[in-house]
Amino acid sequence: MLTAVTTSTPAAWVACAGAFSLAILLLLRLRSYRGTTLTAPCIWAILSATALALISLLEATSPSQTIARDALRFACAATTFCPIMAVLGAKRPQDRGWQWIVLSLWVVAVWPAVQATLLPTGTQVELFIVWKLFLVGLVAVGLLNYLPTRFGLPSLLVATGQLLLLDNYLWRWHLVPPRLILPLAIACFFAAKITTILLAKNSGQPENGAGTSGLEPFQQQWLTFRNAYGAFWALRILGRVNEAAEFRDWPFRLTWAGLVAHPSDSAAQPSEKQLAELDQTMATLLRRFNNLAAICRSPTVGGPTTQEGCQGPATPN
């Protein structure tokens, strides 16, 4: 039996206020990503929060149970996948063109809603099992990308909010009253952003005591990048750094927790030449994601926050 998702007027107004507040908060934080490829994901997040605010406003001022309204709800819920998809393409020079792929993915995700509107057979959008698996996979991508990082809790909150919004289209468990789905989902997104801001203050701090003398600035650089971009890009950078370490016989290796002494040469300390080579390697790899000015300005975009770290080789925009 199908259950239409309705949002009572007070709950809709609460959701509207929360979503608009989230959009404003994201807009205020946009400047901190200037000069990095995380600008586009932040803009997508602003657009998604605005879409949720507008659908909440519509629910508050003009409740409706038509197929067109349900399709609009579904389309707004699908916008929450756009920010993480933008992160997966956040490397220069393809990051700008990648935004068309993000838009195309959103169109593909909402295609059942378009079909339901053009060829209505009821008052709700119905999804085939393949489409349901596709949406669950998109939720999992965002969760798995950030779960191993410092921002694991925010990623869980975002995934929870997405599953709440999609409950009526996936499995209809209705673990919460339908009228509360929208405000609770937006509350999850808002809590995720606040938690991210709080955790970002120490996002470059070494974990579990990992480290080697003389490598502290690079530890901070690596951990901040890893936390900001997630596992997808961090694992690629990790592999490239270790390839260089193996080729140049550095006495350290890069792990998920940071730079550590190589087991076969644990007593050796890196020379000035090796530190310079590491600096050049990191600069070459990370310039695809941010520029030196962005690295020095903000500890949340993937670079060292010490003045010494900001005096390294300049990287092009």
> Does residue 205 belong to any structural domain of this protein?
no
Could you tell me if 119 and 153 lie in one domain? Answer: yes
Helix, strand or coil for residue 132?
Answer: helix
For residue 295, what pLDDT is reported?
A: 44
> Does residue 97 belong to any structural domain of this protein?
yes
Please give the sequence-ordered ranges of beta strands (E in DSSP) within 239-314, or none if there are none: 252-255, 258-261
Sequence-separated contacts (24+) of 233-241 with Cβ below 8 Å:
233/87, 233/90, 233/91, 233/289, 234/149, 237/285, 237/286, 240/281, 240/285, 241/278, 241/281, 241/282, 241/285
Could you tell me if 194 and 255 lie in one domain? Answer: no
> Does residue 1 belong to any structural domain of this protein?
no
Region 161-178 average pLDDT: 83
Q: Give CA–CA dist 166/174, Å, rounded.
A: 11
DSSP 306: S
Q: Give CA–CA dist 19/10, Å, rounded.
A: 14
Cis peptide leading into 93, omega within 30 of 0? yes
Q: What are φ and ψ of residue 133, in 5° steps?
A: -65, -35
For residue 31, what pLDDT is reported?
A: 87
Region 180-196 average pLDDT: 91
Asked if the model's pLDDT at residue 313 lies above 80, the reply is no
Could you tell me if 109 and 24 lie in one domain? Answer: yes
For residue 7, what pLDDT is reported?
A: 55
> Does residue 210 belong to any structural domain of this protein?
no
Asked if the model's pLDDT at residue 303 lies above 70, the reply is no
Could you tell me if 148 and 297 lie in one domain? Answer: no
For residue 181, what pLDDT is reported?
A: 85
With cut-offs at 50, 70 and 90, classify the pLDDT of residue 117: confident
Could you tell me if 80 and 176 lie in one domain? Answer: yes
Could you tell me if 33 and 174 lie in one domain? Answer: yes
Q: CA-CA distances (angstroms) from residue 281 to 54, 87, 117, 309, 312?
A: 46, 22, 52, 14, 12
Could you tell me if 306 and 274 lie in one domain? Answer: yes
Cβ within 8 Å of residue 187, ≥6 positions away: 18, 161
The Cβ of residue 117 has, within 10 Å, a number of other Cβ atoms equal to 18
Could you tell me if 196 and 220 lie in one domain? Answer: no
Which residue, of 167, 200, 233, is where some domain finishes? 200
Number of domains in the chain: 2
The least confident of 109-118, 216-225, 261-270 is: 261-270
> Does residue 249 belong to any structural domain of this protein?
yes
For residue 202, what pLDDT is reported?
A: 64
> Does residue 152 belong to any structural domain of this protein?
yes
The pLDDT tens digits of the residues spanning 14-28 come to 888 999 999 999 999
Could you tell me if 169 and 220 lie in one domain? Answer: no
Contact 223, 205 (CB under 8 A): yes
Q: Give CA–CA dist 48/53, Å, rounded.
A: 9
Region 215-236 average pLDDT: 87
Which residue, of 158, 173, 200, is where some domain finishes? 200
Region 27-39 average pLDDT: 88
Could you tell me if 192 and 268 lie in one domain? Answer: no
Could you tell me if 160 and 244 lie in one domain? Answer: no
The least confident of 18-27, 267-276, 288-297 is: 288-297
For residue 6, what pLDDT is reported?
A: 52
Could you tell me if 166 and 303 lie in one domain? Answer: no
> Does residue 2 belong to any structural domain of this protein?
no
For residue 114, what pLDDT is reported?
A: 86
Structural domain of residue 44, as residue ranges? 9-200
The least confident of 25-39, 119-133, 152-166, 211-225 is: 211-225
For residue 124, what pLDDT is reported?
A: 78
Contact 282, 244 (CB under 8 A): no
Top mean-pLDDT range of 132-141, 216-225, 249-258: 132-141
Which residue, of 147, 169, 200, is where some domain finishes? 200
> Does residue 105 belong to any structural domain of this protein?
yes
Contact 159, 143 (CB under 8 A): yes
Region 264-287 average pLDDT: 78
With cut-offs at 50, 70 and 90, classify the pLDDT of residue 267: low
- Count of all residues that appear for the chain in the document: 317
